[in-house]
Amino acid sequence: MKQIGIGLAGFGTVGMGVFRHLSRNRNLLSQRLGFELWVRRIAVLDPNKSRSVDTSAQPVTGNWEDLIVDPGVQIIVELMGGIEEPLRLITRAIEAGKTVVTGNKALLAKHGKELFDLATAKQVPIFFEAAVAGGIPIIKAVRESFIGNHIKSVHGIINGTTNYILTRMTEAGLDYAHALGEAQAQGYAESDPTLDVNGWDAAHKAIILASLAYGTWICPSKVFVEGIEKVTARDIGFAKMLGYRIKLLGIIKADDDGSRSIEVRVHPTLIPEKHVLASVNGVFNALCVNGDVVGETLFYGRGAGQDPTASAVIADLAEAAHALDSKRRDFGFMPHGLYGDCKPLDEILCQYYLRIPVDDKPGVLAQVAGVLGALNIGISSMIQPESDGQSAELILMLHDATHAQVREAIARITALPSVEGAPTLLRVEHFTP
Amino acid sequence: MKQIGIGLAGFGTVGMGVFRHLSRNRNLLSQRLGFELWVRRIAVLDPNKSRSVDTSAQPVTGNWEDLIVDPGVQIIVELMGGIEEPLRLITRAIEAGKTVVTGNKALLAKHGKELFDLATAKQVPIFFEAAVAGGIPIIKAVRESFIGNHIKSVHGIINGTTNYILTRMTEAGLDYAHALGEAQAQGYAESDPTLDVNGWDAAHKAIILASLAYGTWICPSKVFVEGIEKVTARDIGFAKMLGYRIKLLGIIKADDDGSRSIEVRVHPTLIPEKHVLASVNGVFNALCVNGDVVGETLFYGRGAGQDPTASAVIADLAEAAHALDSKRRDFGFMPHGLYGDCKPLDEILCQYYLRIPVDDKPGVLAQVAGVLGALNIGISSMIQPESDGQSAELILMLHDATHAQVREAIARITALPSVEGAPTLLRVEHFTP
């Protein structure tokens, strides 16, 4: 059976998982694929470190250049982490004509354009199923299965750490700090959880999805990103009373009008409790894709971890092997010039949840409602919980408004004498079936 | 731009949908694909019938042989319905070296082996994403994305008609006949709903999934199939009290032991109300795939209808165009000889729900429990609803037992003097995360 030579760069959790499962399911995979996927060399930071996996059949090197110069290595798998070093490795691999498989979302979000331009020029495919939502085959689905669809929107729970934290806050009433501590104790959050909780891990994935759906690499500075650090158990409770759950969503959308302008944003979002996404709990990920032909679809599974991510990398290796064999070049699945630019935040239209700390005095609601009315923002529902007699809270659900309108409303409301502090603003998404 | 010529056989709901969306999203599709998909000829039953779609640019013929002999037709799309006529068409197409796209599940379930043997001999690919679960890309996911996984199980809600009926019975408390009537009035059930409600439509899809996952065409006679005709609102109510929903599931499983024997079955099934599948309602389909590397995943969407099915056919056309261009032959994704045969029904192990009509007299429960104990079948929980004083019912949830054990238990229980009639038996599935 024909062998395809693999150079594995990075032998941490995911790299080791790929190696282990390639060996464990070797027969099954070879029979299905018609090729044998053979790891020829492994590049690691420290070749002398002792490891739990037997790599006696593979030379282990401390220098990834050894993978590039090995003529038997046809596919380079980059699972090193970081940005600058993988960028150098992948650039070298493409220049050397080697197929690339990577799961590096931060790298692609930042340097996707230059890497894919180079790959196109050199006719070398890059596969990256593992970069978004671990074992869920969302890259393949958007790029291949929905190729006949204008993608109206993708709403994704694409960060397991924050979904775990929000789930625990919702189910056990924990506050943010406690839920984060629990996630760290369980190994679901890193000791420095910044990139997860501030929304940027999800933003990298949203950028990659947007590039697939709309054929353009969005500049990270154009993406509106808000993390979950300020979400309170109190807001989760009010959202529940109103029939919503709060999830950190990565959202991409494109208008189906002439402009076809794009939205890419990540923020804590109120979604109707009856929607399937609302019941995606714990570390699970899920993506709701709405195509103009297929309608609403949902993909659910584990978005991180050794095994699910290894499953995605192995699928890419199989695809890469086929591509090498047939000279098929499917990385070109990207339309250009058919979609517009990223919509400025101020023009983005959505619905909102607003919690306003106010004095418990007559007339306050009239003042707040007056501000909203003057700015032409409709109120769809309202709660005023029983107060302690001195200060109170108003919780308002607002109809569609632009960010610019709502920004102005918040400035005016905050300035009202009966308002005790800055209101809490969260965004709301409804789904059209 | 290179044109790929398509011959469309069948111009009913789905055929017309494919034609319409190919034309509507033509620019997007061509730019993504790098080819233009062009319908060159359409074969219909009656070429003189007036249609709502403008086909003035395409010769319409009453004879599908015209598609085969047209040298510009490279792909034949079979959407005619029926079995014998499509079998002749596809056989002819393969012999003529034309790529085939079909959504015909009944045909593949019955003649899959001979068609794929012929296709392999002639090196002609057959694509069939539309044959299972409409717009949900489950064929691609199982065949390509999970290629590195031993598929432990697939649990699928793969018939929208029965899911609509069961949803209405659950939510509105309707009985079967009323819910079926409503489904027919809504256009979700045909005037002759036999193939849907008796489980055979789902069985065809389960056979196709099993062939992908386990590389073997299961003979339909080996599949255990039970429809929803005998499911009562009463059983749905008791299931609810016990924390379950009743869904018609297509189930495929393979043991991960040496035998790797396969189970393929379709039946109304109690599933835990907290599992994601339990909240898949109405005409929606969903499949829960458990792979030994990726873990539990779920795919959700519309399983039938003009647009979702057209989305799947168009994805296959894109795939077929790539395959034609690159001489890629990916239909070989099937392992052989790695899995065993279909397990006989009597050996299948699962859990059960049993409702037994009994006399309201002391000692009855002891007799029933005695029968089960003697056969070594454990009881996991029980309800005895308030009776009318004369007859009563026992609802038992049973631990794992083989079908042979349970068959014997039912025979003995039915023969008990205090038992008033044949017990109702339903199967229960739990999911390991």
Q: Which residue has the higher pLDDT, A337 or B39?
A: B39
Contact between A314 and B326 using a beta-carbon 8 Å cutoff: no
In a 3-state reduction of DSSP, which class is residue B275? coil
Q: Is residue B334 very low, low, confident or very high in pLDDT (cuts 50, 70, 90)?
A: low
Mean pLDDT score, A114-135: 94
From the list B298, B302, B303, the residue with the least C-alpha distance to A299 is B298
Q: To which H or E segment does residue B203 belong?
A: helix B200-214
The mean pLDDT value for A402-409 works out to 96
DSSP B423: P
Nearest-neighbour CA in chain A from B296: distance (Å): 6
**Which of the following is catalytic: A98, A110, A205, A253?**
A205
pLDDT, chain A, mean: 93
Q: What is the pLDDT of residue B362?
A: 87
Does B29 contact A148 at a Cβ distance shorter than 8 Å?
yes
Q: How far apart are the first and last CA of chain B?
A: 48
- Which stretch of A205-219, B61-75, B256-270 has the lowest confidence by average pLDDT? B256-270
- Chain A contact probe: residue of B33, B132, B147 with most A CBs at under 10 A: B147
Query: What average pLDDT does the structure give for chain B?
Result: 93
- Mutation target vs A (from B294, B300, B313; most A CBs, 10 A cutoff): B294
Output DSSP code: residue B352.
E
Kindly tell me if the per-residue pLDDT of B51 is higher than 90: no
A 10 A CB-CB count for A60 gives 18
Question: How far apart, in whole angstroms, are the C-alpha atoms of residue A371 and residue A414?
Answer: 11
Q: Which one of B32, B328, B334 would you mutate to disrupt binding with A, by most A Cβ within 10 Å of its Cβ?
A: B32
Q: Which of A11, A283, A343, A333 is nearest to A157 (CA)?
A: A283
DSSP readout, B209-265? HHHHHHSS---GGGSEE--STT--HHHHHHHHHTTEEEEEEEEEEE-SSSS--EEEE
Asked if A227 contacts A253 with a C-beta cutoff of 8 angstroms, the reply is no
Å between B405 CA and nearest CA of chain A: 34
DSSP letters of A300-314?
A: EEE-SSHHHHHHHHH
pLDDT of residue A323: 87
Render pLDDT for A209-218 as a digit per residue (tens, 0 to 9): 999 999 889 9
Q: Nearest chain B Cα to A308, which residue? A: B294
Q: Is B257 exposed, middle or buried (0-12, 13-18, 19+ CB in 10 A)?
A: exposed
Q: Which residue of A has its CA nearest to B332?
A: A32
In B, which residues are within 8 Å of A32 by CB distance? Answer: 147, 215, 333-335
- Strand residues in A295-375 grouped as ranges (E): 295-302, 349-359
| Residue B369 amino acid letter | A
In chain A, what residues touch B148 (CB-CB under 8 Å)? 21-22, 25, 29, 310-311, 314-315, 317-318
Sequence letter at residue B388? D
Q: Is the pLDDT of residue A1 over 90?
A: no
Parallel/antiparallel/unpaired status of strands B349-359 and B424-428: antiparallel
Mean pLDDT of B19-43: 94
Q: How many CB pairs under 8 A join A and B?
A: 202
Single-letter code of the amino acid located at A233: A
- Buried b vs exposed e over B373-396: b needs ≥16 C-beta within 10 Å? eeeebeeeeeeeeeeeeeebbbbb
Q: Would you call B274 a catalytic residue per the annotation? A: no
Domains of chain A, first to last: 3-127 (3.40.50.720), 144-302 (3.30.360.10), 345-428 (3.30.70.260)
Binary contact (B301, A296; C-beta < 8 A): yes
Residue with tokens 């150079």, as numbered in its chain: A7
Residue A403 and residue A432 in contact, taking contact as beta carbons nearer than 8 Å: no
Sign of the CA dihedral running A147, A149, A151, A155: negative
CA-to-CA distance for A127 and A217, rounded, in angstroms? 16
Distance between CA atoms of B200 and A345, rounded to whole angstroms?
51
Residue A8 burial (CB count, 10 A): 30
Per-residue pLDDT of B112-162, as tens digits, reads 999 999 998 998 999 999 999 999 999 999 999 999 999 999 999 999 999
Q: Judge whether A429 and A155 are in contact, CB under 8 Å.
A: yes
Q: How confident is the model at residue B330 (pLDDT cuts 50, 70, 90)?
A: low
The pLDDT assigned to A359 comes to 92
Question: If you average pLDDT over residues A294-322, what whole number do you get?
Answer: 95
Does residue A433 carry a pLDDT above 80?
Answer: no
pLDDT > 80? residue A334: no
Q: What is the mean pLDDT of residues A174-203?
A: 96
Q: Which residues sit opposite A114 in a β-bridge?
A: none
Band of residue B335 on the pLDDT scale cut at 50, 70, 90: low
DSSP code string of A118-173: HHHHHT--EE-GGGSSTTS-HHHIIIIITTTS-EEEEEEE--HHHHHHHHHHHHH-
Give the Cα separation of B299 and B307 in Å (integer). Answer: 18
Specify the pLDDT at position A341. 85
Task: State the pLDDT confidence band at B327, using cuts at 50, 70 and 90.
Answer: low
Supply the pLDDT for residue B60.
95
Taking the C-alpha atoms of residue B48 and residue A290, their distance in angstroms, rounded to an integer, is 37
